[in-house]
Chains A and B, each alone.
Chain A
Amino acid sequence: MHFKSIKILTLICAVLTLGSGLLTSGTITIADSPKTPNASQVYVQSTKHLIQKYCHACHGPKKQKGSLNLSLYTSPQAVQKHRKTFTKVIRQLNEREMPPPNKPTPTDKERAAMIAALQGVLRDIDCSETKDPGRVTIRRLNRTEYRNTIRDLVGVRFDPTKGFPSDGDGGGGSFDNNADGLFLPPILMEKYLDAATMILDKAIITPPIQKRIDPEKLPAHLAQGKARKDHTFLNSTGRISWNFHFPKTGVYTFEIRAWGERRGPTPPKIELRLGKTLVRSTPVYAPAKKPGVYKFRRRVNKGSYRLTLNFTNGTKEKLPSLSVDYIKIIGTPAPINAQAKVSHKAIFTAAPAATVPARKAAENVIANFARRAFRRPVTPTELKNLMSLYDRAAQRGDPFELAVKLALKRILISPFFLFRIEADQPAKTAYRISDYELASRLSYFLWSSMPDQVLFDLAASKKLSNPEIMAQQVKRMLADLRSIAIARNFGGQWLGYRSLGITRRPDPKRFPMFTLKLRDAMKMESTLFVHHVLTKNRPILEFIDADYTFLNKTLASHYQITNVNSETFERVSLPNRSRGGILGMASILTLTSYPLRTSPVLRGKWVLEELLGTPPPPPPADAGDLPPDDRQMDGLTFRRRLEQHRKDAKCASCHNRMDPLGFGLENFDAIGRWRNEQAGKIIDTSGVLPNGERFSGPQELKKILLKQKETFARNLAEKLLSYALGRQLEYYDECAIREIIKGLKKDQYRSTSLILAIARSYPFGYRRNHRPEDED
């Protein structure tokens, strides 16, 4: 009974040890079922008086510290109306900031009662009146989304985000796709610019540049000397110069076809300069009858340069003369890989031909790319701006592919690509988002990537918002391999395994067997399992308990399970139920341990916080800590020491909730191996919950957790909705959550109904314009 209402109980865990009758009847049920009418009654009958007793001295009719007068809120309706004020009140009560220590403070029981009642009142909203889809801040693609989007847009198979600053890992109810945590510092802009270059270099095959310069065709101020029919003749010191744009950094070959006439012992000498830098100089021995071709090679940084060919020794009499036929600049061909052939073909949807002018073809390619990159149709102005970059390059003589590339690069650093932008519509109230926006919401939710052609086509014909078509699409997308993203990113952040081995790592000396191979196997098991449950329409309760999992040889031997002989993961039926579900997974068990030992406290807290969504309050500032190692000390086992710790009343209230859950998992060591003994003693895996319920070992623990299925389902629904929307949930999302849970229960907790309900939910399909109150 106590356990059932854990959501509120953990908030007010101080109360639990007292086993109070006063609370259990009223406040506790409130939290479990948001519609319970009792919250308001409790507020009127008791909470109000407690607030009067403890708060009014400073925040009442006589004194209004911080301009707060709590005596004004006589009815539950008034509390609801001043939601922000009371959210703060609850927080300060919960964190024991108020009342201050030098004033009369409520007993833990009273404090808990106040919090519970106020929570209940705030939650008890009327969904027929409250209708707000909320507003998602425009957000840039996070690192994962950028990587996946580039993969699907350009078709290159490499990681362009290597070296991008980390977008962090979600935690505390937030995911890494939440706009409020996604910044765009200059360092990232530099990386975007570099990445755009790198991506297009890999995806597009550019023919090496070949440019022939005939000096006789240059204007006279550039080519000194006498222009002949097919060459230029220099009979005194002179120079030929011209401007040239090197489209990319690389090695270039300079070919000069020339001949000289000797009138004495010295042959004519020429030198080639790049800007002021000498490339090379050479004597020209070749006679007019047999002109020579002089080749220089040099690495040149991309950019425009003034090139000069100097004839350096023609001044004096009896000195030679020189004739130059042409100068060629030849780039080095880039190696062509098979991948580039495919991506190149996909990007170049048109090519210049006899009937197709180059500019027309370029426009086609650029418009197609922009439409997919911006995930919506492109406006004529946008296309014009993009074409101006093509023109810039084409006019100075860049080859077709290179000129197009410049415009594509512009697309890849545009805010319309880097951000997911949804347009305001001229409306005062909420409105349905466009079909294109819906396509992006769906694809980034399920694939962490851009929509594919099917979604684009449905958006173009405005069919995607049709509920039946959307349901079909959701099912199609879940069946697509790209849906692995939801397991990696949502699952990995919700359950924490994405950061396994990064922020939490077992001690390498104590656990040398925790290798990268094992770590990756642990992550893979969790990813595949979460993917299976979420996309194969399994009941979500399998997260708590299942009779199967996914293993390869490495992980199976870690679990002491035989008959898995390949390093390829396969679905494995489990011989008994101690492993099944996420609590039996090595990834989670390692994450919830310290480097040197297991931690029943961390594990218990993890179950409450991540699985059930009912985190215990922070420990008091002066709470002690246990030793980092679990070897026996002072003749006490670790469990005994923890039990001593719990004798301290201020610790007991919360630890009585957390620790027993963790004890139930003590058969798993700090890297998730099964053990029966520790330090020579049989492990005691029994736990007693505050309501007196007894259990022992993981199997019985899971049975108890399964009784909490509604709390678990609510937690999962809240987390998944927050991930799908890319924002933290607000109080008005309660209505959507209620709808989602109703549908889930009806459908035996099947995952597809959860995902469909989210995709169809009001906040997912609607938005509204900015309001001043969003600023807080």
Chain B
Amino acid sequence: MAKKSWHISRRRMLRGLGVSMSLPLLDAMQPTSALGATGTRSPKRMACLFMPNGVLPAPWTPKVGPLRELPKTLSPLQKVRNQVLVLSELRNKNSLHGEGHHVKTAGLLTGYAVKKGGDKAIHNSISIDQLAARYVGKNTLLPSMELGCEGKRTGLDMGFSRIYGSHISWKDANTPMLKETNPRSAFDRMFRSSASRKSRANADNAGQSEKTDEQSLLDSVLADAKSLRSKLGGADQRKIDEYLEAVRSVEKRMQKHTKKIAPSKGSKFDIRKITPPKDRPSNHQEHVRLLLDMIVLGFWSDTTRVSTFMFGNAVSGINMSFIDGVKGGHHQISHHNRDKEKVRQYQLINQWHVAQLAYMLEKMNVIEDGDGRSLLDNSMILFASGIRDGNRHDPNNLPILLCGKGGGTLKPGRHIQYAKHTPLCNLHLALLRRLGIPAKRFGDSSGPLKGLS
């Protein structure tokens, strides 16, 4: 049943668009028959999805307690509502000041009050996904995967570098993780780049002891960079450090997998059944869905266990007129000024974002992960905006959904209302702990968020 409705909705979507396109994951995404639990637990995965420009509060907020009737904006989640936690009254205190968007975007997963200034002076802190990648990313081809619909922007906006507003994922204080915006490139990176091919082909070369050409190339340029570094100062050194770091990470990936990478035992993942997605999605909805598909694929194939996704950058002006009844750009409409017409359109835009989340959750819910559970059961999908109501730039009581069962560590299907101004970082800490990371504090956390399990 689930299978059938999934097919229909996808086809209907395509017909609605009036375009012909390849169905990238159609064959692969069929639910597999239930498999007996194997006893071994599949790994936990975490994805953080960022929606720009906040939500209209009233149609977002369900009754506290078990999720039965969903308010309008959350209604697309109906089928998977028992996989959803709605969390209220969480606040990102360190993003209170500065300006309306960039601070609240860059600080969402870092819990850090980013430093004012231009591209040269960017200063943030490590984000939870990157912290997670340092721990759980060791075991996968890609430690993490950063995706988004809009590319990087630079230059100053309201006194803050736009680099802030285009990144939620931060490797360290000065290094945002660049997003992949092209679904095809994301796919190739997982399954077709020389690094990934290498590791997947290694089974054939077993017994080969000497270094590959790539490894000796990388060794050789590392030597160059190191000697160069010693001759440079300040900012120059940091640039070469970035280079060194990048080379090492590619090298590590090539060395790491002497055995063939495979999804966990029992998984029905088979790359041969998957058609790569197309390069240029013809519209925003297709773009979003193809990128979300990449996260699902990455998790399913165990190519990565950590991912972030940005529907748009801060202050995103993506034209939302493709939604029935909406006319105009996202940010423009989000400043609704309580104008009736705009409020109506703003709600529709919010609901559309939730529907895309539902699209992803429904897929993950029917994919069998090898240990008898679904992929969604083993995942934690955070869906969040950096502000409450787009009209007000307010980082109190953020709109937060936490989906999936986190490998049995979450008890979804509820709306939990916390005490006013509970730190968002408590949630971050709780997520990190669930991934087995022994963090004591994160940002302004006062302890891991309670009541999730």
Interface residue? A186 (CB, 8 A): yes
Binds A, one of B45-53, B153-161, B429-437: B153-161
**Chain A: interface size category:** 35 or more
Partner of B151, one of A166, A189, A424: A166
Tell me whether A415 and B332 are in contact in the complex, defined as CB-CB below 8 angstroms, given that A275-B207, A775-B234 are known contacts: no
Interface residue? B197 (CB, 8 A): yes
- A706-726: which have CB < 8 Å to B? none
Interface residue? B58 (CB, 8 A): no
Q: Is B154 within 8 A of A174, CB to CB?
A: yes
Tell me whether A424 and B250 are in contact in the complex, defined as CB-CB below 8 angstroms, given that A138-B240, A594-B329 are known contacts: no
Tell me whether A627 and B205 are in contact in the complex, defined as CB-CB below 8 angstroms, given that A189-B246, A507-B327, A776-B121 are known contacts: no
Binds A, one of B33-41, B179-187, B265-273, B367-375: B179-187
Q: Is B204 within 8 A of A305, CB to CB?
A: yes
Tell me whether A163 and B188 are in contact in the complex, defined as CB-CB below 8 angstroms, given that A137-B239, A171-B155, A189-B249 are known contacts: yes
Residue of B nearest to A198 (CB): B194
Residue of A nearest to B185 (CB): A163
Interface residue? A681 (CB, 8 A): no
A569 CB to closest chain B CB (Å) equals 25
Interface residue? B2 (CB, 8 A): no
Partner of B228, one of A173, A194, A415, A629: A415
- B100-119: which have CB < 8 Å to A? 100, 118-119
CA distance A770 to B235 in the complex (A): 9
Q: Is B188 within 8 A of A414, CB to CB?
A: no
| SS of A interface (majority) | loop
Tell me whether A304 and B210 are in contact in the complex, defined as CB-CB below 8 angstroms, given that A193-B194, A504-B317, A776-B121 are known contacts: yes
Residue of A nearest to B167 (CB): A183
Binds B, one of A221-229, A311-319, A617-625: A617-625
Interface residue? B9 (CB, 8 A): no
CA distance A415 to B225 in the complex (A): 6
Binds B, one of A39-47, A108-116, A385-393, A581-589: A385-393
Q: Is A165 within 8 A of B246, CB to CB?
A: no
A360 CB to closest chain B CB (Å) equals 21
Q: Is A621 within 8 A of B193, CB to CB?
A: no
**Contact bitstring A165-179, B, C-beta under 8 A = 1, else 0:** 111111111101011
Partner of B239, one of A410, A419, A507, A627: A419
Tell me whether A193 and B328 are in contact in the complex, defined as CB-CB below 8 angstroms, given that A187-B180, A728-B120 are known contacts: no
Tell me whether A181 and B332 are in contact in the complex, defined as CB-CB below 8 angstroms, given that A91-B159, A276-B206 are known contacts: no
A424 surroundings in chain B (CB, below 8 A): 231-233
**Contact bitstring A374-407, B, C-beta under 8 A = 1, else 0:** 0000000010010011001100000000000010
CA distance A618 to B158 in the complex (A): 6
Q: Is A184 within 8 A of B220, CB to CB?
A: no
Interface residue? B208 (CB, 8 A): yes
Interface residue? A488 (CB, 8 A): no
Interface residue? A769 (CB, 8 A): yes
B235 surroundings in chain A (CB, below 8 A): 137, 179-180, 770, 774-775
Partner of B206, one of A189, A275, A627: A275
Tell me whether A168 and B153 are in contact in the complex, defined as CB-CB below 8 angstroms, given that A185-B178, A301-B204, A388-B220 are known contacts: yes
Residue of B nearest to A774 (CB): B234
CA distance A508 to B327 in the complex (A): 11
B69 surroundings in chain A (CB, below 8 A): none
Tell me whether A171 and B208 are in contact in the complex, defined as CB-CB below 8 angstroms, given that A186-B249, A507-B319 are known contacts: no
Q: Is A163 within 8 A of B182, CB to CB?
A: yes
Q: Is A596 within 8 A of B327, CB to CB?
A: yes
Interface residue? A693 (CB, 8 A): no
A621 surroundings in chain B (CB, below 8 A): 100, 393
- B40-99: which have CB < 8 Å to A? 99
CA distance A306 to B204 in the complex (A): 10
**Contact bitstring B215-255, A, C-beta under 8 A = 1, else 0:** 01110110111001001111110011011011101100000
Residue of B nearest to A422 (CB): B236
- B264-291: which have CB < 8 Å to A? none
Q: Is A174 within 8 A of B119, CB to CB?
A: yes
**Contact bitstring A243-265, B, C-beta under 8 A = 1, else 0:** 00000000000000000000000
A494 CB to closest chain B CB (Å) equals 12
- A121-154: which have CB < 8 Å to B? 137-140
Q: Is A95 within 8 A of B327, CB to CB?
A: no
CA distance A302 to B204 in the complex (A): 10
A183 surroundings in chain B (CB, below 8 A): 175-176, 178, 242
Q: Is A415 within 8 A of B224, CB to CB?
A: yes
A410 surroundings in chain B (CB, below 8 A): 217, 220-221
B446 CB to closest chain A CB (Å) equals 27
- A754-776: which have CB < 8 Å to B? 769-770, 774-776
CA distance A742 to B36 in the complex (A): 82
Interface residue? B201 (CB, 8 A): yes
Q: Is B393 within 8 A of A594, CB to CB?
A: no
B10 CB to closest chain A CB (Å) equals 23
Q: Is B246 within 8 A of A274, CB to CB?
A: no
Interface residue? A637 (CB, 8 A): no
Best-surrounded residue of B100, B120, B182 (most CB of chain A within 10 A) = B120
Q: Is A174 within 8 A of B118, CB to CB?
A: yes
Binds A, one of B21-29, B294-302, B333-341, B404-412: B333-341
Q: Is B243 within 8 A of A181, CB to CB?
A: no
Q: Is B120 within 8 A of A180, CB to CB?
A: yes
A618 surroundings in chain B (CB, below 8 A): 99, 158-159
Partner of B152, one of A165, A172, A190, A389: A165
Interface residue? A220 (CB, 8 A): no
B218 surroundings in chain A (CB, below 8 A): 413
CA distance A190 to B188 in the complex (A): 11
CA distance A191 to B212 in the complex (A): 18
Tell me whether A628 and B332 are in contact in the complex, defined as CB-CB below 8 angstroms, given that A190-B193, A303-B212, A775-B234 are known contacts: yes
Residue of B nearest to A171 (CB): B155
Partner of A181, one of B119, B233, B236: B119
Q: Is A187 within 8 A of B337, CB to CB?
A: no
Tell me whether A304 and B208 are in contact in the complex, defined as CB-CB below 8 angstroms, given that A183-B175, A625-B337 are known contacts: yes
B221 CB to closest chain A CB (Å) equals 5
B231 surroundings in chain A (CB, below 8 A): 423-424
List 16 other contacts, CB 8 Å, given A165-B152, A168-B153.
A170-B155, A171-B155, A185-B178, A186-B245, A190-B195, A276-B207, A301-B197, A301-B205, A303-B205, A305-B208, A414-B224, A415-B228, A415-B243, A424-B231, A507-B319, A507-B321
**Shortest Cβ-Cβ A-B pairs, 7 listed:** A172-B155, A628-B328, A770-B233, A166-B151, A189-B246, A172-B156, A168-B152
12 A–B contacts, CB within 8 A, in A order: A91-B159, A138-B232, A171-B155, A171-B162, A193-B217, A303-B208, A304-B205, A393-B213, A410-B217, A596-B328, A627-B339, A629-B327
Binding site for B on A (CB under 8 A): 91, 95, 137-140, 163, 165-174, 176, 178-181, 183-191, 193-194, 197, 274-277, 301-306, 382, 385, 388-389, 392-393, 406, 409-410, 413-416, 418-419, 421, 423-424, 503-505, 507-509, 594-596, 618, 621, 624-625, 627-629, 728, 769-770, 774-776
